[in-house]
Amino acid sequence: MIRKVLALTLLGMLLSTGAALAHPLGNFSVNHYDGLHVYPDRVAVTSVVDIAEIPTLQEGSFDPTRECAALTGSLRSTVDGKTLAFQVLTAGIEHPTGQGNLATTRITCSSTAPVEITGMVALTSLCTAV
């Protein structure tokens, strides 16, 4: 009997799963991600800033071009001691719905720096928060 109840409970849990509609932030948080991609001719960085409901309300509006320029300007990377000069390729903004039907903000930036990589190199990277 106990096995049947456990099996039915487990089956019910598996069948009742749905999509999570909330974002993974607290209402006051700002999360920052930088993805570093190394290619033979360039180093590319994808930066994503997720801004929760309260900071989105406090700021009012964000200019993705300005925000991405500031983020890209804060990137510090070297290849074999040579400083890389990053340029913004794309700047985007979205406003996913958060808790209480309030807007959140997601800023996505793509940046790249030219470099010639023909073998093993030493890469250092640092992003200082803006």
* Chain segment 25-73, per-residue pLDDT in tens: 677 889 999 999 999 999 999 999 999 999 999 998 999 999 999 999 9
* Chain segment 75-128, per-residue pLDDT in tens: 999 999 999 999 999 999 999 998 889 999 999 999 999 999 988 988 887 766
- What pLDDT, on a 0 to 100 scale, did the predictor assign at position 27? 79
Q: Is residue 80 part of a domain?
A: yes
Q: Is residue 19 part of a domain?
A: no
Q: Is residue 11 part of a domain?
A: no
Domain range enclosing 111: 26-118
Q: What is the pTM of this model?
A: 0.76
The amino acid sitting at 62 is: F
Report the alpha-carbon distance of residue 73 to residue 84 in Å, rounded.
Answer: 11
Report the alpha-carbon distance of residue 73 to residue 32 in Å, rounded.
Answer: 15
Q: Is residue 44 part of a domain?
A: yes
As for how many domains the chain has, the answer is: 1
Q: Is residue 129 part of a domain?
A: no
Q: Is residue 123 part of a domain?
A: no
Q: How many CB atoms lie within 10 A of CB 95?
A: 13
Q: Is residue 13 part of a domain?
A: no
Q: Is residue 2 part of a domain?
A: no
The amino acid sitting at 73 is: G
